[in-house]
């Protein structure tokens, strides 16, 4: 009787047993860190709100109809104003609000958003909130470390770790780097820079993916991709994968480290969607799965 094993299994069995175990252990340790960051006191699971600001005055408080609504146990009915003037947002706390700004009693100030790399953080009790910039839209993201999503979190399911899903890709640079309009779950698009093309073989097929640069100050390749497992076990909108910058024209892609986007865990995240060129007609049975329970 001849036993046929999947290509991925054959590749993994080709490794010496100690190397297999060391590789699995390294991915398991990385995943444990990923889960710890996800479930941290300021992680994605703590999001409880995301409100968009309009030009002029925007109210903050627990009163119904507030532009930025806070829980009634965290803030008074009227706690402050966000005043949008062109490209700047000025915050004005109201008397008796008890709010903090960057850990100190809040005073009137122009706020920095997350687009600057370090947003100013306001706090009402245990609830924190800060400005987010998404294209021309400016909003306020609200977090609570006691959010139900965080308290009910029990980890992220994933495929068994398999070294066959760790591949080396050729990096073909664009000269100059190109800009792509990447769609988001908000129905908007954001310009992102792609430095080149990744070309590699997987299961005997040639595959290409176009990586983006998410944070120029911390260069890393950011791959937004979707494959055919999205209809049978992984997040329907696609997944993310990060990789080190090219070295000698090569990039290592480890699909065992493919992760769900923040939108898989919260309705208040603002995720980019995979561009058409990164939608693969094949199963990538590696990385995180999705049960629809978050």
Contact (Cβ atoms closer than 8 angstroms) between residue 249 and residue 171: yes
| pTM summary value | 0.87
CB neighbour list of residue 17: distance below 8 Å, 6 or more residues apart: none
Rounded to whole angstroms, how far apart are CA atoms 194 and 196?
6
The larger pLDDT score, comparing residue 8 to residue 26, is at 26
Domain spans in the chain, listed from the N-terminal domain onward: 7-39+154-278, 45-151
Q: What does each C-alpha distance from 224 to 164, 236, 280 come to in angstroms? A: 20, 13, 11
CB neighbour list of residue 89: distance below 8 Å, 6 or more residues apart: 53, 82, 83, 110, 111, 113, 131, 138
- b/e sequence 38-77, b meaning 16+ C-beta within 10 Å: bbeeebbbbbbbbbebeeeebbbbbeeebbbbbeeebbbe
What rounded mean pLDDT belongs to the chain? Answer: 92
Per residue in 207-224, pLDDT (tens digit) is 999 999 988 777 899 999
CATH 1.10.101.10 corresponds to the domain 45-151 = no
Per residue in 140-174, pLDDT (tens digit) is 999 999 999 999 999 999 999 999 999 999 999 99
């Amino acid at each position: 009787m001849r036993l046929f094993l999947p290509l991925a299994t054959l590749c993994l069995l080709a490794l010496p047993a100690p190397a297999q175990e060391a590789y699995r252990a390294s991915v398991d340790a990385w995943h444990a860190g990923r889960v710890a960051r996800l479930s941290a006191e300021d992680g994605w699971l703590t999001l409880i709100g995301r409100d968009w600001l309009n030009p002029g005055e925007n109210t903050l408080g627990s009163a119904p109809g507030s532009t930025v609504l806070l829980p009634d146990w965290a803030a008074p009915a009227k706690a402050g104003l966000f005043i949008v003037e062109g490209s700047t947002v000025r915050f004005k706390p109201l008397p008796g609000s008890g709010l903090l700004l960057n850990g100190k009693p809040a005073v009137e100030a122009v706020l920095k958003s997350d687009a600057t790399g370090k947003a100013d953080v306001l706090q009402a009790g245990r609830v924190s909130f800060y400005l987010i910039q998404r294209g021309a839209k400016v909003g306020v993201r609200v977090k609570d470390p006691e959010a139900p999503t965080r308290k009910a979190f029990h980890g992220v399911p994933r495929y068994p770790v398999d070294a066959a899903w760790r591949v080396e890709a050729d990096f073909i640079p664009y000269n100059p780097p190109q800009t792509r309009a990447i769609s988001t779950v908000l129905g908007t698009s954001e310009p992102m820079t792609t430095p080149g093309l990744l070309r590699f073989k997987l299961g005997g097929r040639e595959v290409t993916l176009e990586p983006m640069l998410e944070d120029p100050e911390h260069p890393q390749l950011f791959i937004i991709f979707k494959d055919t497992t999205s209809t049978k076990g992984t997040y329907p909108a696609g997944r993310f994968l990060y990789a080190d910058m090219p070295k000698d024209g090569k990039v290592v892609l480890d699909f065992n480290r493919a992760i769900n986007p923040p939108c898989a865990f919260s309705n208040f995240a603002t995720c980019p969607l995979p561009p058409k060129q990164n939608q693969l007609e094949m199963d990538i049975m590696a990385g995180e799965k999705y049960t629809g329970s978050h």
